[in-house]
Structure 1
Amino acid sequence: MKYNVAGIELQLIEGDIAAQPDIEAVVNAANAQLKTGGGVAGAIHRAAGPKLEEACRDLAPIQVGEAVITSAFKLPNKYVVHTLGPVYGQDKPEAELLARCYKNSLHLVEECQLKSVAFPAISTGVFGYPIKEAAEISLKTVKETAEELKKIKLIRFVLYSRSDFKVYSAVAEKIFD
């Protein structure tokens, strides 16, 4: 699915965040220590190789909602933006913190003068954020932030499962149509 948001192409696809060769920066749903983990962090770290964890060492720990950037090493991208999403039911106010992940990541990509970025569904794995709520927050945040972005031309949401893709698609239709 594709939408135009303030002159930026917004795409929703089902796929693997670590396999987006046409994107300059991919976003890692990181842990506070920026180490290899499960889910998105595991996939990105495995694909990037051990140098990614080395590059993250001096940047950790990060706070919930914060975003930092490193080289992408063996990934097909130039950069990895690492952001720490909230643990649902634990980190408060979770909606504001989740929105901050997307906003801070977008501003970092913009500062680096990159034209494209791909996001996973941050916090919806082991951090337990309900997918529909996460979709609403992330897509609304992109819509609200798009006006501020001058360099970014493509924002892609890469949803790992068919069910997550369907939820994001339904939410996007309500927000962007």
Structure 2
Amino acid sequence: MRITVVQGDITQQEVDAVVNAANRRMRGGGGVDGAIHRAGGPAVLEDCRRRFPDGLATGQAGWTTAGSMPARWVIHVVGPNHSAGETDRSLLTSCYANALRVADELGALTVAFPLVSAGIYGWPREDAAAAAVETLSGTRTQVEEARMVAFDRSAYELVERAVSHVNQ
């Protein structure tokens, strides 16, 4: 699998699936979650309610329609809330591994990922980038491109360094 890094808006990526850093309830929220729900429109929320009436546990993944976005699917993952004491790194890495598993089930070959838990959930950004890249590069999958989408320049540079470190 090829890991690419772009700076931009995850909701505008022309890929098979975008990964949403969701909260446990899966009803929308702030950050990436809010952006995906706004861009996808009501179909994303309706599918979340129908498919996941009780939400998802931390580290787990599930899919819904992407609604109005260019992608076909949204793969929702619930990252650990570091700020609230969820500091087990395996919960973070399982988000990426489980997202790839769901992508394989869907037949998605191109998947756009945010930096899970690195925003309001407070995971240290450098470790969040390392965990993402290590897990993506070390997980067997049919996905051909894992596109890390950084919203700003500093996140882009951080993820780019993590990718170059793994490729050494």
TM over 0.5: yes
Structure 2 counterpart of 1:159: 150
What is the aligned-residue RMSD (CA, Å)?
Answer: 1.0
After the TM superposition, which residues 116-127 of structure 1 pair with which residues of structure 2 at under 5 Å, given as runs? Answer: 116-127=110-121
From 1, 11, 18, give the equivalent of 2:11: 18
Instruction: Tell me by how many angstroms 1:119 deviates.
Output: 0.2
- Identical-pair percentage: 35
Structure 1 counterpart of 2:42: 50
Distance 1:103 1:118 in 2: 14
Q: Which runs of 4+ in 1 moved over 4 A?
A: none
Distance 2:5 2:127 in 1: 16
Distance 2:156 2:149 in 1: 8
The reply to whether residue 130 of structure 1 matches residue 124 of structure 2 is yes
Aligned residue identity for 1:30: A
Residues 20-56 of structure 1 deviation map (CA, whole Å, 9 limit, x = unaligned): 02x0000000011111211100110000001211110
After the TM superposition, which residues 79-158 of structure 1 pair with which residues of structure 2 at under 5 Å, given as runs? Answer: 79-89=73-83, 90-93=85-88, 95-145=89-139, 148-149=140-141, 151-158=142-149
Distance 2:121 2:104 in 1: 27
Distance 2:43 2:3 in 1: 31
The reply to whether residue 9 of structure 1 matches residue 19 of structure 2 is no
Instruction: Tell me by how many angstroms 1:92 deviates.
Output: 4.1
Instruction: Tell me by how many angstroms 1:112 deviates.
Output: 1.2
* TM-score, structure 1 normalization: 0.90
Residues 127-174 of structure 1 deviation map (CA, whole Å, 9 limit, x = unaligned): 0011100011110001110xx21x311110000110011111112111
Structure 1 counterpart of 2:23: 31
From 160, 164, 176, give the equivalent of 2:167: 176
> Which range moves more in the overlay, 133-142 or 56-65?
56-65
Aligned residue identity for 1:9: R
Distance 1:65 1:80 in 2: 16
Consecutive unaligned residues of structure 2, counting only runs of 5 or more, are: none
Distance 1:152 1:76 in 2: 18
Distance 1:99 1:38 in 2: 22
